[in-house]
Amino acid sequence: MQIVLATRNQHKAVELERILLELDLQFELLTVDKFPDAPEVEETENTFEGNALLKARALCNFTGLPAIADDSGICIDALEGSPGVLSARWSGATENIDRANVDLVLAQTVSVPEGQRGAQFQCAAVAVFPDGREFVSLGSMPGALLTAPRGSNGFGYDPIFVPDGFTKTTAEMSASDKDEISHRGIALRKLAQLLKEG
Ligand code: IMP
């Protein structure tokens, strides 16, 4: 059976595919690029789960195939959980978006002392089937924000995030080391288990 991945974010698609391919799912993975007319979904919900379900339901309706979507972001303690679901568009920039988002978060936390720079990445991964079945799983990765970027792997806020128990940022880790502990890795591994159980 085929299953479609509902993301146009190239970086996220790479991570999603990489993690899902390791999981021995009984599905052939298609990406949304195969459906150029699929509707662009506005993320209007205020939870990761709500937005992931919006994206997966829309693609499942459009293609008639089961769809997997994730929604994710970083929640910063000193910013009362922001940017959260707004992580992708926090700075409002339309080019060099990751860099602009990182710069804004660093500026907003410039006076937050070490010890109070806690943050966590969160991810909701969902699968929606044409027969109406819906599966939801959540993952998170706690850590702390640096005051300047380090590393060039990954994407988004990776260069300023050090997971708890590590000294490297997620932008300094290898892809497989990040997948092992990441919010997306955790959520997708749980989702794969739910799918296998039916
Ligand atoms: P969305 O899930 O497409 O709404 O976008 C999530 C946004 O959160 C990304 O564009 C990044 O800015 C941020 N984000 C989510 N996961 C990660 C990650 O693993 N590393 C760095 N940034 C992330």
Per-residue model confidence (pLDDT) at position 29 = 86
Query: Which CATH code, of 3.30.360.10, 3.40.50.300, 3.30.70.270, 3.90.950.10, is assigned to 2-197?
Result: 3.90.950.10
137-183 tens-digit pLDDT: 999 999 999 999 999 999 999 999 999 999 999 999 999 999 999 99
Report how far ligand 1's centroid is from the alpha carbon of 110 (Å).
Answer: 21
Nearest CA to ligand 1 atom 23: 156
Given a cut of 80, whether residue 62 has pLDDT beyond it is yes
Per-residue model confidence (pLDDT) at position 187 = 96
Any ligand 1 atom below 6 A from CB of 156 = yes
Given a cut of 80, whether residue 198 has pLDDT beyond it is no
Tell which one of 104, 157, 158, 182 to mutate to probe ligand 1, the residue whose CB is within 8 A of the most ligand atoms.
157
Per-residue model confidence (pLDDT) at position 7 = 86
Pick the catalytic residue from 24, 33, 37, 71: 71
Per-residue model confidence (pLDDT) at position 130 = 97
Per-residue model confidence (pLDDT) at position 20 = 84
Nearest CA to ligand 1 atom 7: 88
- Catalytic annotation present for 71: yes
Nearest CA to ligand 1 atom 9: 88
Residue-range domain boundaries for the chain: 2-197
Q: How far apart are CA 154 and CA 181, in angstroms?
A: 14
118-133 tens-digit pLDDT: 999 999 999 999 999 9
Report how far ligand 1's centroid is from the alpha carbon of 156 (Å).
Answer: 6
The torsion angle over the Cα atoms of residues 160, 172, 122 and 103, rounded to 10 degrees, is 20
**Beta pairing partners, 140:** 122
80-102 per-residue burial string, b: 16 or more CB within 10 A, e: under 16: eebbbbebbebbeeeeebbeebb
Nearest CA to ligand 1 atom 5: 88
Per-residue model confidence (pLDDT) at position 85 = 98
Q: How far apart are CA 195 and CA 198, in angstroms?
A: 5
Per-residue model confidence (pLDDT) at position 196 = 83
Per-residue model confidence (pLDDT) at position 194 = 92
9-60 tens-digit pLDDT: 888 888 888 888 888 777 888 989 999 999 999 999 999 999 999 999 999 9
More confident residue, 94 or 19: 94
Per-residue model confidence (pLDDT) at position 122 = 98
Any ligand 1 atom below 6 A from CB of 87 = yes
Q: How far apart are CA 192 and CA 187, in angstroms?
A: 9
